[in-house]
Structure 1
Amino acid sequence: MNKKFSFLLVPFLVLAVKLGAATVDTVSVYSDSMNKNIKDVVIKPSGYKPSQKYPVLYLLHGYSGNYSDWIKKDPGLPGLADEYGMLIVCPDGGFASWYFDSPIAKSSRYETYISRELVTYIDKHYSTVNNRAGRAITGLSMGGHGALYLAFRHQDVFGAAGSMSGGVDLRPFPDSFGLKEVLGEYNQYPERWEEGSIVNMLYMIKSNSLALTFDCGADDFFCLYNNQLHEKLLERKIPHEYTSRPGGHSWEYWCNSIKYQAMFFSTFFNSTSKVKAG
Structure 2
Amino acid sequence: MRTVCNFYSYVLNRAVDISVVVPSVTCPESLGLGGITPSHKLPAKFPVLYLLHGFGNNHAQWLGYSNVEMYAEEQRIAVVTMSAENKAYADAGADDFMRFVDEELPEFVCNYFPVSDKPEESYIAGLSMGGFGALLHGITHPERYRAIGSFSGGVGINPVTFVKDPMGSKGEEAPLPHEYDLAALADDAAAAGRTLPPLYIACGTEDFLFQANVDFRDHLVELGADVTWDEVAGFGHEWRFWDMQVEKFLDWIPRDDVYAKMGKRPV
Settle same-fold status: TM greater than 0.5: yes
Query: Alpha-carbon deviations, 1:75-128, whole Å to 9, x = none?
Result: x2111111111000011111x1000011xx21x221111111110011111122
Equivalent position of 1:84 in the other structure: 75
* 1:197-276 matches, cutoff 5 A: 197-206=181-190, 208-246=195-233, 247-265=235-253, 268-270=254-256
* 1:39-188 matches, cutoff 5 A: 39-47=17-25, 49=41, 52-74=44-66, 76-94=67-85, 96-102=86-92, 105-106=93-94, 108-170=95-157, 178=164, 187=173
CA contact (8 A) 2:46 2:259 kept: no
Deviation of the 1:33 alpha carbon: 1.6
**Residue type matched to 2:46 in 1?**
Y
Equivalent position of 1:9 in the other structure: none
2: distance between equivalents of 1:204 and 1:29?
Answer: 35
1: distance between equivalents of 2:164 and 2:252?
Answer: 31
Equivalent position of 1:27 in the other structure: 5
CA contact (8 A) 2:149 2:200 kept: yes
Looking at both structures, which has the greater relative contact order when contacts are Cα pairs under 8 Å and sequence separation is at least 6?
2
Query: Alpha-carbon deviations, 1:161-197, whole Å to 9, x = none?
Result: 11000011136x99766457xxxx964x4142x5413
Root mean square deviation of aligned Cα:
2.5
Larger deviation, residues 139-148 vs 204-213: 204-213
2: distance between equivalents of 1:84 and 1:92?
Answer: 24
Distance of aligned partners of 1:233 and 1:78 in 2 relative to their CA distance in 1, 3 Å threshold: same
CA contact (8 A) 1:59 1:90 kept: yes
| Percentage of pairs with the same residue | 24
Q: Which runs of 5+ in 2 are unaligned?
A: 26-39, 261-267
Deviation of the 1:225 alpha carbon: 0.6
Distance of aligned partners of 1:179 and 1:136 in 2 relative to their CA distance in 1, 3 Å threshold: farther
CA contact (8 A) 2:44 2:258 kept: no
**Residue type matched to 2:60 in 1?**
S
1: distance between equivalents of 2:221 and 2:259?
Answer: 28
Distance of aligned partners of 1:208 and 1:151 in 2 relative to their CA distance in 1, 3 Å threshold: same
Deviation of the 1:49 alpha carbon: 4.2
CA contact (8 A) 1:29 1:118 kept: no
Taking structure 1 as the reference length, what is the TM-score of the superposition?
0.78
Taking structure 2 as the reference length, what is the TM-score of the superposition?
0.81
1: distance between equivalents of 2:11 and 2:165?
Answer: 21
2: distance between equivalents of 1:126 and 1:90?
Answer: 14
2: distance between equivalents of 1:35 and 1:175?
Answer: 23
- SS of residue paired to 1:201: helix
- SS of residue paired to 2:255: helix
**Residue type matched to 2:61 in 1?**
D
Query: Alpha-carbon deviations, 1:55-77, whole Å to 9, x = none?
Result: 00010000011010111111x21
Q: What is the number of equivalent residue pairs in this alignment?
A: 238
- SS of residue paired to 1:120: helix
Deviation of the 1:238 alpha carbon: 1.2
